[in-house]
């Protein structure tokens, strides 16, 4: 549990560095406001999804290894099923990553235009 919380804290701190990084121009006017909240939200979403999927992958792999240890004749079927399950779990993380990119790059321009900051 400590490792999961440590990884989540690491993702938050890495994302906060991006959120607080502001260069001149319109970004300076925003401060941490909306731009920082969007970046921080995207980073938190991807970080939580990645940590949750990592835990799920660990449980799936552990279960497959225990099943193979109990019944070695089913190793081929269990391996194929485990790899399929891991692919589905990994897809959830990729969905979160795509949503994070969508928030940052696709929607940010329209929100900045509404705020009168250009874009």
% of the chain surpassing 90 pLDDT: 45
Does the predicted model carry a pTM greater than 0.95? no
What's the mean pLDDT in 28-33?
A: 56
Cα separation of the two ends of the chain: 43
Contact assessment for residue 22 and residue 30, using Cβ atoms and an 8 Å cutoff: yes
Q: What's the gap between Cα 6 and its chain centre?
A: 15
The answer, yes or no, to whether residue 82 has pLDDT greater than 60, is: yes
Contact assessment for residue 30 and residue 117, using Cβ atoms and an 8 Å cutoff: yes
pLDDT of residue 54: 93
Rounded to whole angstroms, how far apart are CA atoms 29 and 50? Answer: 32
For 7, what's the count of Cα atoms within 13 Å in the CB-facing half-sphere?
13
């Amino acid at each position: 549990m400590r490792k999961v919380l440590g990884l989540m804290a690491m993702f938050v701190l890495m994302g906060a560095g991006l959120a607080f990084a502001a260069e001149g121009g319109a970004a300076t006017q925003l401060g941490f406001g909306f731009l920082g909240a969007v970046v921080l939200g995207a980073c938190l979403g991807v970080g939580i999804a990645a940590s949750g999927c990592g835990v799920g992958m660990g449980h799936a792999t552990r279960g497959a290894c225990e099943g193979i240890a109990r019944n070695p004749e089913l190793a081929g079927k269990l391996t194929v099923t485990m790899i399929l399950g891991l692919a589905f779990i990994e897809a959830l993380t990729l969905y979160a990553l795509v949503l994070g990119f969508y928030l940052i790059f696709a929607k940010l321009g329209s929100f900045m235009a509404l705020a009168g900051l250009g874009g």
